[in-house]
């Protein structure tokens, strides 16, 4: 470690070495073991109709029972068919996160905090940017090449879109751009990252967009510019978070003038606490998550004159809108222990009262979430019908 380049490379390697070794191990395992598993199953991944072959091999017409063995067989088929492609996607997503150079901040619970200590080292912003950007691009290209050249994947029409190194590099550039330029706005950053991820995962259904000669290069350049400007602005604290005012702030201020509002019972106060703690924010996040991908999709279609939405895409949107509330509730439930747990434990409430307050808040949120997601559906559908007509 005699130069900043080497020191930063060492930091990156040392911080992620276990997982990076796992990625290498995964590629090796797929390169060495996967062909043997295919051979054992009598499945030729290079065949033109490999998937049909393997499905026929495991399908037993007339048998409708779902025994444990059968479930395992189906899972095995799915693994042989999609395993390499899914592993490739996950490892590429992981490497993108590595090259955003972010880490979890336990004090703010921000999973994508860029370490401020790097800005106190005597290295220039262009150096830091190009190191991370070129390193990220090289890592994506190398990882992609490793998967393509060492692992023989069965041909699947669905995954064909992912067999495009430039698309992955564009996704890398966009990820760095969003993470760095929106460091001061974590919720907006999360929404945009979700929208971009949504675009990537649903890209097989939007092949016409991905294959357009303008879309990927434009997004690549956009990501590059955002990342460069974002890192510079983040270093000098030029983009500060907006202090967003609650739309009914004036009404609450009037309420405060009248004196503090009294709750009718401890249970009601607890319900307010649960709602205020996370439920209210969840509704806004769900609204944003539902709005941004749909709006972006429509915008891209209109901009590039790509015609009406296909039924597949509409179906994809419907699935996405249904998944949002479930996903958000899962995230909240799985999030790290809240710092206010000890504060709650000191309240003179029974476990039942606390649980009831949580359930009520969840019920209210679910209704709002469902409403905020599905109100996007009719305009989207109407637009599609009118476009077809």
- Buried-state track 286-298, b at ≥16 Cβ within 10 A, e below 16: bbbbbbbbbeebe
Q: How far is the CB of 125 from other proteins (least distance, A)?
A: 7
Minimum CB distance to other proteins smaller for 86 or for 123 = 123
Q: Closest CB to other proteins among 61 and 122?
A: 122
Q: Which two tokens stand for residue 70?
A: 């059968």
Q: Which is nearer to other proteins, 132 or 271 (CB)?
A: 132
In whole angstroms, the minimum distance from the beta carbon of 14 to other proteins comes to 7
Q: Where are the beta strands (DSSP E) in the chain?
A: 103-105, 110-113
Helix 165-181 and helix 186-201, axial crossing angle in degrees, nearest 10: 170
Q: How far is CA 178 from CA 252, 310, 340, in A?
A: 34, 29, 30
CB of 254 to other proteins, least distance (A): 20
**Three-state secondary-structure class, residue 105:** strand
CA distance 272 to 266: 10
Closest CB 126 distance from other proteins, rounded Å:
10
Q: How far apart are CA 149 and CA 146, in angstroms?
A: 5
The least CB distance from residue 16 to other proteins, in Å, is 10
Q: How far apart are CA 284 and CA 378, in angstroms?
A: 19
Shorter beta-carbon distance to other proteins: residue 2 or 60: 2
Which structure tokens are listed for 131?
Answer: 């190191």
Cα gap 37→30, rounded to integer Å: 10
Interacting residues with other proteins (CB under 8 A): 1-4, 6-7, 10-11, 14-15, 107, 115-117, 119-125, 235-238, 240, 242-243
Distance of CA 333 to CAs 330, 347, 362, Å?
5, 21, 11
* Of residues 64 and 120, the one with the C-beta less far from other proteins: 120
Nearest distance in Å: CB 355, other proteins: 35
Least distance from other proteins to the Cβ atom of residue 22, Å: 17
Minimum distance, C-beta of residue 108 to other proteins, in the bound complex (Å): 11
Nearer to other proteins, 238 or 350 (CB): 238
Encode burial over 153-176: b for 16+ CB neighbours within 10 A, e otherwise: bbebeebebbbeeebbbbbbbbbb
102 or 313: CB nearest other proteins: 102
Strand segments, DSSP code E, in 72-175 are: 103-105, 110-113
HSE-up of 104 (CA within 13 Å, CB side)? Answer: 5
How far apart are CB 238 and other proteins at their closest, in Å?
A: 5
* Residue number, 240 or 265, with CB nearest to other proteins: 240
**Among residues 249 and 375, whose Cβ is nearest to other proteins?**
249
- Give backbone dihedrals phi and psi of 245, rounded to 5 degrees, phi first: -95, 135
């Amino acid at each position: 470690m005699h130069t900043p380049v080497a020191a930063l490379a060492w930091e990156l390697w040392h911080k992620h070495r276990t997982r990076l070794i796992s990625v290498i191990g995964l590629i090796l395992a797929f390169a060495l073991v996967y062909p043997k598993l295919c051979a054992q199953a009598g499945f030729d991944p290079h065949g033109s109709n490999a998937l049909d072959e393997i499905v026929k091999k495991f399908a037993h017409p007339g048998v409708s029972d779902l025994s444990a063995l059968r479930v395992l067989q189906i899972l095995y088929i799915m693994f042989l068919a999609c395993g390499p492609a899914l592993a490739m996607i996950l490892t590429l997503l992981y490497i993108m996160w590595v090259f955003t150079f972010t880490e979890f901040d336990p004090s703010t619970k921000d999973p994508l905090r860029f370490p401020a200590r790097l800005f106190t080292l005597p290295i220039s912003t262009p150096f830091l940017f190009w190191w991370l950007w070129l390193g990220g691009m090289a890592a994506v290209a190398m990882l992609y090449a490793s998967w393509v050249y060492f692992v023989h994947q069965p041909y699947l029409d669905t995954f064909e879109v992912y067999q495009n190194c430039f698309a992955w590099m564009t996704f890398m550039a966009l990820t760095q751009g969003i993470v760095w330029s929106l460091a001061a706005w974590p919720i907006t950053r999360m929404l945009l990252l979700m929208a971009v991820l949504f675009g990537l995962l649903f890209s097989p259904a939007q092949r016409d967009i991905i294959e357009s000669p303008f879309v990927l290069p434009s997004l690549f350049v956009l990501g590059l510019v955002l990342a460069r400007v974002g890192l510079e602005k983040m270093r000098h604290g030029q983009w500060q978070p907006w202090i967003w005012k609650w739309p009914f702030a004036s009404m609450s201020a009037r309420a405060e003038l009248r004196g503090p509002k009294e709750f009718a019972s401890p249970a009601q106060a607890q319900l307010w606490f649960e709602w205020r703690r996370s439920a209210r924010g969840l509704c806004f996040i769900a609204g944003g998550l539902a709005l941004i991908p749909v709006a972006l999709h429509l915008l891209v279609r209109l901009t590039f004159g790509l015609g009406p939405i296909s039924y597949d895409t509409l179906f994809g949107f419907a699935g996405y809108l249904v998944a949002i509330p479930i996903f958000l509730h899962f995230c909240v439930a799985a999030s790290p222990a809240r710092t206010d747990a000890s504060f709650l434990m000191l309240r003179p409430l029974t476990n039942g009262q606390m649980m009831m307050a949580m359930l009520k808040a969840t019920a209210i949120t679910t209704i709002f979430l469902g409403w905020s997601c599905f109100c996007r559906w009719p305009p989207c559908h109407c637009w599609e019908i009118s476009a077809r007509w």
